[in-house]
Structure formats: structure tokens, C-alpha cells
Structure 1
């Protein structure tokens, strides 16, 4: 266990407002609509130092994982907005598959990897047995080097003032400074059922809710981009909390 929660972040030191965007899951159209809303909001409100924080799960399930990553890894260089990218459990599973394909191949395809691989131009189907090492090699060749770099550089958390941004949540059995990185991306019921006061409010995705769910110790903003056609963004500032949404 290491203290990933309090790791220094230069983006957090300067930020005056955070735009936290929930699970995208290959829905490029929803992402682009949300990006326009965020940019318009920044133009109207004129915050000194806005930061856009993406909570992970950029890939799988939806049809345009490759397009989502391509957009995100180039966006900061195009418009100058500071962006922070967190790692979700779907990126974590993909990275595990790339490192050791045999034990992770079947689950990777089952939980959205089929659409991911197809988005890079490879033909795959669940109705066949694969040589997982061969599929991994073919997939690795299909991914641009910039996409590999994007996946390698994803962060586990982003902390700003009294808010912690993370993909899945925290393990209530451990103090904040002793969290397992895997829990931050994968935990579900123990975190959701806990009323623990962390000393900050946790903003997360990972679990789909019909509308952003506000609890005293946490806020869930995964409104099911791939399932419900709604992508949500929580705006966190000194003036309070607001929600932006893009819809299909």
C-alpha cells in the first residue's frame, strides 16, 4: 500500500474549478458534445484556471474507443485546457491483457473488449476460440504509439481541495493514505454501502445511476453513456456544484 491519495499534483495547486466527466465507454459523439458544453461554460464563467478531469473507462462497450482515445490524447495540445486523465477498470483490464493475454482475454472480450478491438479495425467475435497471444500481438500493432502512451500515463486519483476524483471509490477498511490502487479502479459494494467520512467528498463513476447521485461522502456521476445515452459532468467550484449533460 502506498499513499496515492495525497500525491502532489501541480494541476490541483492552480485549479479554480474542476469539470469531472464520467465514464465515456467509446461514445465519441457524446464526448464531443460534452467537450463543447465545457468549453462554452468556461467562456461564459471565465474561471482563472479550469481543469477537466476524466474519471476513466474511456474504452469498451461503445463503438468508438479508438476515436475517444485519439481525441483525448490530442485535445490538450489543441485548445490549451488543462486535462487530467484517470484510469478506470476497463483500461486496467486492457493493460493486464497486453501484459499477459492468456488469463485476461476471455473476460476482456466479454466486458466490452470486442467493441474496443473492432474500433481499431480488427475483426473479432465472441463465437470462437482465440490464440490470445496472437490476438494481443495483432492488437498491439493496430494501436498507435500515442495511444499506448496515453494508457500508460493514466493516474489513479486526482485530489483538489475537499474533493477526491477517482474511478470506482475507496476501500472503507483502509485509511485514505493506505489504499490499494486496484480498489480505486474496481471496488464496488463496500464503498457504495459505506457512510465513512473520508475527510473529503469522493467523486466517482464505475456504477451506473439514472442521474448523478449525491451522498454526504460521495457523488456518482456515471449515468450510462453506452447504456442510457447520457454523459454527465460535475462542475466543482467555490460557487458550489453543477451538472452538465450531453445526450444522444
Structure 2
């Protein structure tokens, strides 16, 4: 398996023995790319068996791309069949706010690609419809299995010396004291920090041309909806490789 040239890092964070974690970046409605990544994960596990192989999806499954519904279909099955862990991205949080709490959140969500998600569920808002009417139509079209999927989303997960979050962490704040909004939305304060966060952070949220490996973090959001590249890394021991 080829190694990415940026895999040189001084940080030697490690996973427990006999453990491999596959981490997948922001999908944004690209069910086609997700299907390919799932096939690669399954093939890799078959070729390189290990006692425990886990999957962590770092959030932003919906919006912008054409098939958000198909992405959640795949992830809901993966969650049940492979015990995958799915984190909550800021786009899921926006959809949940509109779906369950606040019809007025529609405008902000649409500005970040929410219309593509609505249309993937067969909801095509018209100019004359109110936000409440769109919310009602979306609730009616949103499957129970997908509601259960949303309830399973987590804000972070830790394994060994690795912390998986959607956007990052606020430097200088302990994990237990982190604001969930920071975990989903933070950018510059985290991205510009060279601080040791106590754990090696695996995240997405801010698109980069290729997996960006630093001494304290790795960004695996490669803008899949636009670039056609959905990044999956495999972490084993201290090694990080691009699958």
C-alpha cells in the first residue's frame, strides 16, 4: 500500500495493539464515492485481517452533493452491520435544527447546500412555500431509520492516543470541557495552533487538496463533493496510511 509523502510526522500517537481504525473524511452527498471507499475498506480487511477493525466517519454526510439520502442509507447500514461510529458535523446539526426545532433555520441551511439534501429526499421547495411547509414535507419524507441514525451521531470519539472530531478542538481546553459547537465549527484557532492537544486529532470540516498531516493533527476533508476525492486513512500502531 503506497504511503503519502506527507506521512512524516514527529508525533508518535499510537492505537492499542491489534487495532486498526479507518477514518473517512467529509462526504457531502457523494454516495458514489462512499460506496467505493466502503469496498476498499472491506477489501483491505480481507487482505490484512486484524483482531479489531473500526470505522469512524467524521461528519458532513449531507448537503452540496446529489445523493445525501443515499449516503445516510449506506452509513445507517454500516453503523448496524460493522458497528461504525458516525460523528456529527455542522451540516448534520443544521439539518437537525431545521427538521426538529426551527423552521426559520431553512435559510441558513440552504446557503450551505441544504437544498441538495431536500431534493435527494424528494422535497423540492417552491417559491411560494413557507419554511413551515417545507419542514412539514421534509419530516414526512425523512425515514424513521434515518431519524434513528441521527440519534446515534456522536460529537467525538477517542481510541488510544487519537481523538476523532468533525472540525477540531479549542486549544488549551480539556476534552471534557470542550464546547460541542467548537467540535463542529472551529477553524482558525485550531488550524493555526501547533499546540499539543494531549491527543492526536483526526478531523475534517476545512477542505484541503490532500490529507494534511501535522505533528498534532490530520485533516482528511478533501472536498469530496467537488474534487471527487473522498479520503480514507487507515491508522494502525503509529502508522497513518492513505487507503
Name the TM-score, length of structure 2 as normaliser. 0.89
Instruction: Please name the residue that 1:63 is paired with.
Output: 66
Residue 60 of structure 2: SS of its match in structure 1? coil
Residue 191 of structure 1, CA deviation: 0.7
The alpha-carbon distance between structure 1 residues 47 and 103, as it changes in their structure 2 partners (threshold 3 A), is same
Aligned positions, number: 229
Correspondence for 1:197? 196
Deviation at 1:240, TM superposition (A): 0.9
RMSD: 1.7
Task: Report the Cα distance in structure 1 between the residues aligned to 2:42 and 2:20, rounded to whole angstroms.
Answer: 13
Q: Deviations over 1:61-94 (max 9, x none)?
A: 00000011111112344xx423111100000011
Q: Distance in 2 between matches of 1:104 and 1:55?
A: 23
From the superposition, tell whether residues 73 and 23 of structure 1 become closer, same or farther in structure 2 (CA, over 3 Å).
Answer: same
Q: CA deviation at 1:220?
A: 0.2
Residue equivalent to 1:183: 182
| 8 A contact 1:61–1:112 mirrored in 2 | yes
CA offset at residue 239 of structure 1? Answer: 5.6
* Structure 1 residues 91 and 76: alpha-carbon distance in aligned structure 2, compared to 1, 3 A threshold: closer
Map residues 116-135 of structure 1 onto 2, 5 A cutoff.
Answer: 116-124=117-125, 128=127, 130-135=129-134
Q: How far off is 1:175 after superposition?
A: 2.3
Cα distance in 1 for residues equivalent to 2:65 and 2:124? 16
Q: Decide whether the 8 Å contact of 2:79 with 2:86 is kept in 1.
A: no
Cα 1:100–1:14 change in 2 (3 A) is: farther
- List gaps (5 residues or longer) in structure 1: 1-11
Structure 2: state its 5+ residue gaps: 1-14
Task: Measure how far apart 1:46 and its partner are.
Answer: 0.4
Question: How big is the shift at 1:13?
Answer: 8.2
Aligned-partner SS, 1:165? strand
Counterpart position of 1:108: 109
Pair 1:26-2:25 in alignment? no
Q: State the match for 1:94 in structure 2.
A: 95
